[in-house]
Structure 1
Amino acid sequence: MEQSMKKTLLTTALLASISSAYAADAPQWNQLSIGYVNGTLEQSGSSDIDLNGAAISGSILLNDSVFLAGRFESTSGDINISNRNVDVDVRRGEFGLGYRYGVTSTTDVYAKLSGIYYEVEASLGNISAKEDTNGGQLEAGIRSMITPNVELGASAAYIKYSDVDDGEDDNDKNLNIFAAYHFNDKWSAGLGYSKMDDVHFTELKGTYAF
């Protein structure tokens, strides 16, 4: 009886220790994601443009706190103008340096400074027109493992464009929220939503942590 009790206590302690260690896992920063993107480009005075495409993103820690992060996204759609179909392509890219801080064993806050690129191209047959700009983005956010398998996150960014046409606003805001389910310590699936002044996107993505 005593031996059986010792085995039970040992097993319980071992399971508790494993569960506690797993629940304490912080959000992963060494990761690569590929996603399907669906969005809407809001057009003043004309119909909105539905966009579909793909995105690739990733980040890597340089030490316990500093990380590099990048993203490239390409989407396309079309709009009917005077009974003629105009193809529209939107491409966005960013690359930056960030700093993460663990406020608890399962929650990180972070700040990131990035260079950005934003391009819109419209084409009709052999005729095309393109508008692009670049600039900087300052982002602050939070990521938290609310359970051993479920992660929630949100961020807000201020964007300053360095090359825009006269009369156009040279700044923007980007709000992001996401949820991810971690199947194990390597693979997860996530759903995110982002909103800028004239465009918003929903993304379904798969992520590999390394």
Structure 2
Amino acid sequence: MERLTPEQLKREQAATLASPRMRYGLLARMLFLTADLFYGRRKSLSKFKVLEIIARMPYQAWENVAYIAMTHTHGEPGFARRIFQRVQESRIQQDNEQWHLLILEELKNNRGIRENFFQHWLIPQAIAFFYYHISWLLYVIRPRWSYLLNAHFEDHAEHEYMEFVAENPALEQEAFESLFRDDYGHFSSLADMFRQIGYDEKAHKLESLARLQAARFQ
């Protein structure tokens, strides 16, 4: 994923804050309502961590479908290669979401935030299980539906992160120190790190939107 300069990150944040959210579909609204029900409407590290657990699911589902497709199309090398390119794209996106999750977990631990098993492990796993299978089923039936659901989810995440930075100006003064700096990126502050995550979510959204009109593995 592209790493932006501090100036670019601030411009991206301003652009997101100035843009309206997408009109979310029923499934996306159900996901966001469920998250608000269990974790409140206030933005927090624990809630962001739950979102990142869920965010990886579509990419895992698409990768699974792609491997099944390659099993049936290996006799057509050109087509199989296009499928594998989709697998590679999904892995990059999935790995990016994984770095988000690991960084948030580390930050939560460093701040001494305690979480209970039921609310912060069991429920997120259940939501992720549901989201994975919905994403998988929609992708099999009609890929456009799965891509659009993911675009809605990523648009929500993009705005949540950028708004979180705007609502917490003290983040500008906090240094970003992490075991994962060499993997994810070096940033001058936690504010810029969160802006980068927000920008990543925007990039994922745009990638899904770009796929809406394309046939599966085209």
Question: Under a length normalisation based on structure 1, what TM-score does the superposition of the two structures give?
Answer: 0.22
Find the structure with the greater CA-based Rg.
1
Answer 1 or 2: higher relative contact order, Cα 8 Å, separation at least 6: 2
